[in-house]
Amino acid sequence: MKADLQIAHEASLLPIREIADGLGLGSEEIESYGDYKAKIKLDALDTRAQGPNGKLVLCTAVTPTRAGEGKTTVNIGLSMGLARLGKRVVTTLREPSLGPSFGIKGGAAGGGYSQVVPMEEINLHFTGDMHAVTAAHNLCAAIIDNHMFHGNELDIEPDLIYWPRVMDMNDRALRNVTVSQRGEGVERLTRFDITAASEVMAILCLATSPRDLRERLGKIFLGWSRRGRPVTTSDINVAGAMAALLKDAIKPNLVQTLENTAAIVHGGPFANIAHGCNSVQATQMGLKLADYCVTEAGFGADLGAEKFFNIKCRYAGLRPDCVVMVATVRALKMHGGVPANRLGEPNPAAVAAGFENLRKHCENMELFGVPVVVAINVFTEDTEMELVSLEHEVEQIGLPVVRCSAWKDGGEGAVDLGAEVIRICAAADFKHFRFLYRSDQELKEKIEVIATRIYGAEGVDFYSRAERALDRFTAHGYGHLPVCMAKTQTSLSDDNTLLGRPRGWRLLVREVRLSAGAGMVVPVCGKMMTMPGLPKRPAAERIDLVDGEIVGLS
C-alpha cells in the first residue's frame, strides 16, 4: 500500500494557488512557500471579520495507548468526507514537533489515505514556525543572562529565574543544566524544555492579532527580584525583538489533504504540557473561509479538549457545534487489560471493559454542554463482533456512533461520519455551552475542579512549594487566570500505568508555573516532565534520505 500511496500522493497534489482559490482567497492574500505550501496573510481574516462563521467541530479521543487512536487521521478523513457531501471544509491542525517525529511517532500528518501533504515537509522544517518560536524563546533567555553578566541592575534573584531554554527535540540530558560556568556571568541552575512546551508557542497560538502577540510577549513572567517583585520581558526590553522574530510565524500555513481539501496547519503546543490546540488565527480563518472548520485538540479529552474549552474558547470567544470522540477497538482492549502483544486476538469482553475509559471522556464532554458523536476508527484486524460490541456500549449511553475507515478508504470512509456531524451541527444550541469553572474562582479551586470532575480524582494534594506559588501568584494579581494542567497523557490519572478509568486516587501537584503572557497558570502533576526523552529505539533510526527522497516518516 505504501508504494501505491506514494504514487497517489505525488499525482494528486494541486498547486497551493488552486487550494487558495477554492477558499476564495485572492493571490494578494497568500504568500507561497514553494508549489504546495503558503502562508495566509492576516488581512484575509480582517476583511472577512463581519462575515458569518462556519460550523466548528472538535475532534478529540480516548486516553492514548500504544495501540493507537488516530485522532488526526479521523480529523482529516472527516474533512474529506464532508467535502464529498458538498460542503466547503477546512481542517485546522497543529504543526508536528521534531521531538516526537524523531522520537516515537515518526510523523504526525495523519495516516494511510487520510493525510495532509506534503507530509515530509510538514513533519520536518515546514515554513520555519517552530524554529522562530525556538529563536524568540532563547533570545529572551540570552538577554536574561546577559543582564546578569552586566551588573543585574534589576536585582533579579538568580535562584528565582524560571525562564528556561528550549529546543525542538527530545533530549532528557538537558532537563537540568548549569549555565554561565567558569566566570561567564552568574552561574545558576536552569533547564531546557521542548519548544512545544514554550510559553512563546502558547502565546503564538492564543494571540488574536500581531498587536495582541506583542502585548502578550511583554507580559511574560521571568522570575522574581530580591525584593519580591515580578520581573517580566518588558523589564529587560526584549519583547519587541521576540515579536520581530515571530512576524511571519503568526501567519497560518495553508496546505491540503490527499483529496485536495484545504488544511490550515499552524502552531504546535503539546496537550500534556501546554494547551494542545492549533492557533486561534487558524481556527478563526477556517470559520470564515468554510462551511465547516474541523479542528482537533491533542491527546485525550481530559487534556486537549478540556483546555480547548476552558482556555482557547474562553480567550477567543469560540463556541463549538459538535465534538467527535475518536476511539479504537484496539485502544479499548488495552484499557480493558489486554497486553500489547495480544491485541490482535478477538476479545469483545475486553472491549466492553475498556469502554469505561471512553464513557468517562464522553461524560466529560457533556459537562461543557456540547453534543458528542463517537467515531470508531476502524483497523483492518478489528472483528465484526468487537465492532458491534463497542457500538452497543455507546448506544447504551445514548450517544450516536459511526464507523470511520478513512485510513483505508480516504474521504469515502468518513462520509457516514460527515453526515452525522452535519445532522448534529444543524441542531446545535449554544445556550447549553458552558465552561467548567469561573475566572473568579481561586486557582486551587480551579485545579480541584479539573482533577475531580474531569480526571475522576478523589482530591488534590499540593507540595508546599506549589501552594506557596499559588498564593504568591494570586497576591500579584494572577488569580483570575485559567489553569493549564501538565499531566501524563497515558492515563486519566497522574500515574501513567493506570489505564481504563482509575478510581480511588488523588492528584499530586508538585509545582506550579506562571505563563502570564499566554494567560494561564500551569500546575505540574505527578512525574510529568516538560522535556521528553527518547525511547530505546527512536524513530530517527528508521528515517533516511535515499536518492534525494526522505523515507521512514509515516
Active site residue 224: no
CA dihedral (146, 150, 155, 156) in degrees, to 10, reads 20
Active site residue 299: yes
CA distances from 261 to 37, 191, 373, 549 (A): 13, 41, 22, 25
**b (16+ CB within 10 A) / e for 361-398:** bbbbbeebbbbbbbbbbbbeebeeebbebbeebbeeee
Q: Which residue is catalytic, options 20, 108, 271, 375?
A: 271
Give every CB contact of residue 249 below 8 A, 6+ residues apart in sequence: 128, 129, 132, 133, 204
CA distances from 94 to 40, 109, 281, 298 (A): 15, 9, 12, 9
Specify the pairing of strand 192-194 against strand 165-167. Answer: parallel
Active site residue 379: yes
Active site residue 73: yes
Q: Which residue is catalytic, options 105, 175, 314, 408?
A: 105
Q: Which residue is catalytic, options 37, 48, 55, 71?
A: 71
Q: Please check whether residue 76 is in contact with residue 257, taking contact to mean a CB–CB distance below 8 angstroms.
A: yes
Helix 210-218 / helix 199-206 crossing angle, nearest 10 deg: 150
Specify the pairing of strand 110-111 against strand 292-296. Answer: unpaired
Q: How far apart are CA 414 and CA 81, in angstroms?
A: 5
Q: Which residue is catalytic, options 37, 55, 87, 94?
A: 94
Q: How far apart are CA 100 and CA 195, in angstroms?
A: 12
Residue 257 identity: T
Q: Which residue is catalytic, options 368, 379, 473, 505?
A: 379
The continuous run of DSSP H or E covering 551 comes out as: strand 549-551
Tallying the residues shown for the chain, one arrives at: 554
Q: Which residue is catalytic, options 60, 72, 73, 328?
A: 73
How many C-beta neighbours within 10 Å does residue 49 have? 8
Q: How far apart are CA 300 and CA 492, in angstroms?
A: 8
Residue 31 identity: E
Q: Which residue is catalytic, options 163, 299, 462, 473?
A: 299
Active site residue 94: yes
Q: Which residue is catalytic, options 221, 308, 407, 462?
A: 407
Q: How far apart are CA 335 and CA 26, in angstroms?
A: 49
DSSP class of residue 402 equals: E
State the cell numbers at 506: 488523588
Active site residue 87: no
Q: Please check whether residue 373 is in contact with residue 417, taking contact to mean a CB–CB distance below 8 angstroms.
A: yes
**Residues marked as catalytic:** 71, 73, 94, 105, 271, 299, 379, 407
